[in-house]
Amino acid sequence: MRQKSSIICIFRIKNINQSMNVSRETIFFLMYDIIVAGAGHAGCEAALAAARMGCTCLLISSDLTAIARMSCNPAIGGVAKGQITREIDALGGEMAKAIDASGIQFRMLNRSKGPAMHSPRAQADRTLYSLYMRKTIEREPNIDLLQDTVTAIECSSSGTFAAVVLSSGRKVKGEVAILTCGTFLNGLIHIGMTHYEGGRTIAEPPVHGLTENLVSLGFISGRLKTGTPPRIDARSVDYSMVEEQRGDDEPVRFSFKTLNQPKRKQIKCFVTKTTTATHEILKKGFDRSPLFTGKVKGVGPRYCPSIEDKICRFPDKSGHQIFLEPEGFDTNEMYVNGFSTSLPEEIQLEGLRSISGLAGVKMIRPGYAIEYDYFFPHQIKRTLETKICPNLYFAGQINGTSGYEEAAAQGLMAGINASLRVKNHPPLYLKRSDAYIGVLIDDLITKVTNEPYRMFTSSAEHRLILRHDNADIRLQRFGFIAGLVSEELFSICNKKIADIETLKRMLLCTRIDASEINSILPSLGYPIVNSSQSALTLLKRPGVTLSMLVNASPSLKAAIYTISTEPLLYEQVEIDLKYEGYLKRDLFMNDRIQRLESHQIPPLFKYDTVSGLSNEGREKLKKHLPETIGQASRILGVSPSDISILMIHLGR
């Protein structure tokens, strides 16, 4: 029987610092269940999940003052990203609670569109967010912190992960390791024709040696690029020349645990626009742009182009929106969203000063591009464990993704599955119909990732089911089983599910008098009615809400209030009933897809023995090594006929 703690040294060290007088021999004999390399958004979620599931965990970072640092836009959520944040919370992760505690402006995006597109977003106080995560991690008794850098891993004679090698030359043994290296792997920063080695910012060193070490073990690496805009002094903005953008009057929180917290102070953001003059100024620096002169070799994200990319790709557009977003309550630093660039510093400043409201702006730090190594994600399993080295997991930008939310989701899933591995329990898989997180991981392991991957609602074929408002209903049971969701919170979720079903049955059976109906229908453009109608029939009419019916019918109000007075609950009932036909069709299609997902492919299956497969199909199957027929069917280049042949060969 395994001991609860795997520390085999006679003592444990809290907040181990590289400069402390601790012998290398002592450190070597520390033995952890799980070692997490990197304390960004992925690393924090991985370490917290592992510790809360009862595993001893070592979290290693080159700078313990930069835990969960927001190196780019200090914001959480947005289209699809808001849904992911809610899912992280439903599974027992920390990101949603962190943004609720540090948010400075909350907005629900796409309110004018259908419910599948509604996405919460919040601007964060950059310093408060990082401080919240640092405090949360330090409160976990199963987490030790170490300020150092992982430069290599060591494997046992069987090829299984055994230990990490640190830049100090020391080694730490572990049963499992999770690499969450962000943009640090051989990071190179570009500003014009000037280049610096950097891991995330100019002030942070990159990680050398780890890429080369992993490549020597058989991993295949690539090179990607991302960028960030300049930061400006908020006191130098002329606010009479920009458009004000306020947060929501009734902000929606991210965490299901903090939904009913009282209102808090919010900060204004602002909107302005580039001009043709701006574009002409920036063009003057194109001959010194690292993007256009070939200095940058990595591929950047198409969906978040730099301002110079926008000018080239959309030459007929006279202006591009710029969002001025404060970086916190107690700082004058402001983020220039929409102006990501790596042009020379003086060109950046001149371009900024040509924008309305920024004529006298002061630039605190310039924008820059950063290149970094990543590893093609067809080399990981659904659990995020690597196929080449058992007990080694990859999470975050090392897998070719972009964004805090995508990284945190991977870190959480890697932490959960690594802990389940340590405990010899079955792994946790999220299907595409379960969560955006399931879509994210499935896309990574079945599609070709040649540019930074970002989640969009269009990526999820079940997006009407995968809404932000029902993430707890979809996922809390998984978090509860894993031990990350408390019994109290899970009971609240179960009551919510029961209340929704009770409300649906009540609306089906309740009829509303014609006089009460006619008090609301004309204002919505409907003709008056002469007889009573069921509340369910009325609710399915476009524009009619449950709140309207409750206010129009005292009897309905009295009946409903015996069940719940929660407006968010009413919203879920409305969505489920108004979109009932679409949801049933979606679930029917999902059932058909799941038949393919249930057909396992043996890990060592020999595709060369299957006659009739197309050459491209065989090549892609051998490269991705799908775990199920469903996965195989989503690999680009594997045809339906290849799937049919494969199923016949497997005895279906």
Q: What are the backbone dihedrals phi and psi of residue 244, each rounded to the nearest 5 degrees, phi first?
A: -80, 140
Shared-domain flag, residues 240 and 351: yes
Amino acid at position 354, single letter: S
146-160, 177-191, 392-406, 436-450, range with the lowest pLDDT: 436-450
**Does any domain span residue 271?**
yes
Specify whether 539 is located in the same domain as 605.
no
d(Cα 266, Cα 252) in Å, to the nearest integer? Answer: 13
Amino acid, res. 281: I
Percent of the chain with pLDDT over 90: 61
Whether residues 261 and 319 share a domain: the answer is yes
Domain boundary among 371, 391, 420: 371
Residue, of 130 and 583, whose pLDDT is higher: 130
Residue 495 located in a structural domain: yes
Do 630 and 538 belong to one domain? no
Question: Is 80 inside a domain boundary?
Answer: no
pTM of the model: 0.89
H/E stretch holding 482: helix 471-482
pLDDT in the model for residue 20: 43
**Is a pLDDT exceeding 50 seen at residue 331?**
yes
Domain ends where: 371, 397, 418? 371
Q: Characterize 136-159 residue by residue with b for buried, 16 or more Cβ atoms within 10 angstroms of its Cβ, and e for exposed.
A: bbeeeebbbbbbbbbbbbebeeee
Range of the domain at 525: 487-566
Per-residue pLDDT tens over the stretch 481-528? 999 999 999 999 999 999 999 999 988 888 999 888 888 888 888 998
User: Is 350 found in the same domain as 285?
Assistant: yes
Alpha-carbon span 190 to 185, nearest angstrom? 15
What pLDDT score was predicted for residue 443?
92
pLDDT at 106 (0 to 100): 95
Q: Domain of 322: which CATH number?
A: 2.40.30.260
Supply the angle between the helices 404-422 and 436-446 in degrees, to the nearest 10: 90
- pLDDT for 476 beyond 90: yes
635: CATH: 1.10.150.570
Which 3 state secondary structure label does DSSP give 615? Answer: helix
Are 643 and 551 in the same domain? no
Asked whether residue 397 is assigned to any structural domain, the reply reads no
Number of domains in the chain: 3
Whether 270 and 320 map to the same domain: the answer is yes
**Where is 47: in which H helix or E strand?**
helix 41-52
Asked if residue 421 belongs to a domain, the reply is: no
- Name the E strands within 415-534: 511-512, 533-534
Element (H, E) at 61: strand 57-61
Q: What is the pLDDT of residues 283-329, one digit of tens each?
A: 999 999 888 888 887 776 777 789 999 999 899 999 999 999 999 99
CA distance 414 to 419: 8
Residue 368 is inside which H or E element, if any?
strand 368-375
**Residues 540 and 610 grouped into a single domain:** no
What are 159-191's pLDDT values in tens digits?
A: 999 999 999 999 999 999 999 999 999 999 999
Smallest CA-to-CA distance from 96 within 120, 69, 126 is with: 120
CATH of the domain at 498: 1.10.10
Clarify whether residues 522 and 627 are in a common domain: no
Co-location of 364 and 235 in the same domain: yes
CA atoms within 13 A on the CB side of 481: 11
Task: Give the pLDDT score at 298.
Answer: 73
Same domain, 235 and 361: yes
Whether 625 and 537 share a structural domain: no
Q: 430 with 437: CB under 8 angstroms?
A: yes
Q: How confident is the model at residue 448, as a pLDDT?
A: 80
341-388: pLDDT as tens digits? 999 999 999 999 999 999 999 999 999 999 999 999 999 999 999 999
Domain assignment of residue 245, yes or no: yes
Return the minimum-mean-pLDDT range out of 26-35, 261-270, 537-546: 26-35
Is 180 part of any domain? no
Predicted local distance difference test score (pLDDT) of residue 604: 83
| Among 371, 406, 428, residue at a domain's last position | 371
Residue 626 lies in a domain: yes
